[in-house]
Amino acid sequence: MKLIFLTLAMGLLCTIRSKAQHFSGCANQETAPISKQVRLTKGTGNPQMDHWLDRESNVLRSFFGINPGLVMYDDSLIDKPNACVSTVPESLDTPDGTVALGYNYLQNMYNYSGNFSMIPIVAAHQFAHIIDFTLKVTPSTPIYKELYADYMAGCFIAYSSNQTWTDISHNVRWIVRIGDYAAINDPACHGTPMQRMAAFKAGYDWYKSQTLAGTKVVVKDASNAARGYLNLPEEKMVANK
């Protein structure tokens, strides 16, 4: 029933056009270096936040089993608080691509929550895009890529935090309001806020259920669970184009 609802929601809701909300979604650059797309900065300007991000990046790398760079960029130049990702590394020390978080996007999250608890959700979403590119899980339809990343981010938060769903749902609702009702094949289509929230919670609940069962989860297990949630075929049958 869950999968039927999700499929119908994708087919119906994402064919309705409406104006995009204030925040745009993550801009996925699969092959172009981040530094060719935006102006990178050395940090956020907040030493406490920089220190926290450096520590959190190691937790992200441990869960996802990849080693991308985590950098900041000046998103004021493009007037779109945002985050973006590329499979092209900026450094030989981080060979698995680059995740870039916009300074204004980070600041807006901090202003909303009063702490850094929202940032791992966004960073995990970007790390999940690199996993998707690597394993070739989703088809080219943008909405599947975004909901896959939301599901994987939910898994990560369940892995890295002791917070309950009640604790984190307020932050997640703010983040997924970038959901939209664009046409399903529109590159801007991330899915509706309802779909994105459901995907994140499904990932969170799945990981918690595995923990309760005493199952040790690796990222490939989480990826397979996300694929099943989205009702996608076996990975070997899917081609990213």
End-to-end Cα, the chain, rounded Å: 30
In-domain check, residue 237: no
Provide CB contacts within 8 A for 29, sequence distance 6+.
37, 84, 85, 86, 88
pLDDT digit string (tens) for 54-102? Answer: 999 999 999 999 999 999 988 876 667 788 888 899 989 999 999 999 8
Q: What is the largest CA-CA distance in the chain?
A: 48
pLDDT confidence tier of residue 5, bands split at 50, 70 and 90: very low
Residue-level pLDDT at 131: 95
Beta strands in 17-67 (DSSP E): 27-29, 40-41
Classify residue 239: in a domain, yes or no: no
pLDDT, residue 63, reads 97
DSSP 215-232: PPP-HHHHHHHHHHHTT-
Q: Is the pLDDT of residue 18 over 80?
A: no
User: By three-state DSSP, how is residue 187 classified?
Assistant: coil
pTM: 0.82
Q: Among 131-135, 198-202, 237-241, which stretch is predicted with the lowest mean pLDDT?
A: 237-241
**Is residue 155 situated within a structural domain?**
yes
66 three-class SS = coil
Per the domain annotation, does 74 fall within a domain?
yes
Q: Total domain count for the chain?
A: 1
The residue-averaged pLDDT of 209-227 equals 96
Examine residue 238 and state whether it is found in any structural domain, yes or no: no
Domain containing 54 equals: 2-232
Return the pLDDT at 41. Answer: 85
Residue predicted with more confidence, 113 or 100: 100
Cα–Cα distance, 41 to 98 (Å, whole number): 14
